[in-house]
Structure 1
């Protein structure tokens, strides 16, 4: 560090590690909230407007998609209310939502294709691809959070309570 550069306090370094909510993250949070609510309303409207009795797997699919949409809306709302550095907890939560939604959707599609007796290979391949991508994003989110928490610990000299990755 040169003499002209001001020295940063540990708190300033921590704030530079990850701001509470950057403009791009705020846009993503609003997008998750709006898309989640819109998706939930759309799926619920389709579900309620279907004529006649529906098969059990159709009710399950509509219910799962509605829950996934509400999870994204809840995530977006939660993210917008945070005023403290999250240390990549937001990425970790989003990755878990993505993995659970991918795995559940893949499982449902596989069950439907087995019942119909068609396209099992394609269903397994596409479902497996989505689950693999979601799992890779989860691993990356865990690594990012662990790195940020490790750096925070180095700067403050304190132990961090809670999940470290």
Structure 2
């Protein structure tokens, strides 16, 4: 018997995804630009525009927060992928619903396509996480024998 685990940390801790890093930078930049635009408007904006700006700022900051958390914590078991998939599903669904309310049901086509893509991303992320967890369980089961 040995005290060393049968796996190495680099097998469990993925390098930070460039796509997630790009989404975080884009989210933060977009939020900062929208907030700056909103703050420098000479007159009061219509209610719909204020809600849209606030929503876009929240979405951008959520992606930036996920990227920052991923850089800081280096999450195990592809948890960052699952969280990113959930954010994608929630934000595309919300955007599609708002689009349908504002522009009518014919405008839902692109949003429904994006929701389908986001769901596929989430399903693949969960499968990756589950695969990693089962590998750990198998390695820990063999290491204890």
Q: What's the TM-score, normalizing by structure 2?
A: 0.83
Q: Which runs of 5+ in 1 are unaligned?
A: 1-7, 115-119, 159-165
Alignment of 1:135 onto 2:119: yes
- Deviation readout 1:3-55 (Å, 9 max, x if unpaired): xxxxx95133xx3533x342xx2644543332221111011122233443333
Quote how far apart the aligned CAs of 1:74 are. Answer: 0.4
Q: Which runs of 5+ in 2 are unaligned?
A: none
**Which of 72, 75, 81 is 2:72 aligned to?**
81
**Which of 22, 38, 48 is 1:47 aligned to?**
38
Quote how far apart the aligned CAs of 1:58 are. Answer: 1.9
2: CA distance between counterparts of 1:147 and 1:135?
18
**Which of 6, 10, 16 is 2:6 aligned to?**
10
**1:139/1:67 Cα in 2 relative to 1: closer, same or farther (>3 Å)?**
same
2: CA distance between counterparts of 1:112 and 1:51?
26
For the aligned residue pairs, the C-alpha RMSD in angstroms reads: 2.3
Higher helix residue share: 2
Task: Report if the CA contact (8 A) 1:21-1:82 is conserved.
Answer: no
Task: Report if the CA contact (8 A) 1:92-1:141 is conserved.
Answer: yes
2: CA distance between counterparts of 1:62 and 1:109?
15
Counting only pairs closer than 5 Å after superposition, residues 20-99 of structure 1 correspond to structure 2 as 20-22=13-15, 25=16, 27-83=18-74, 86-99=76-89
In structure 1, what is the equivalent of residue 139 of structure 2?
A: 155
Q: Select the structure with the greater relative contact order (CA < 8 A; seq sep ≥ 6).
A: 2
Quote how far apart the aligned CAs of 1:101 are. Answer: 1.1
2: CA distance between counterparts of 1:32 and 1:112?
27
2: CA distance between counterparts of 1:82 and 1:146?
20
2: CA distance between counterparts of 1:47 and 1:128?
29
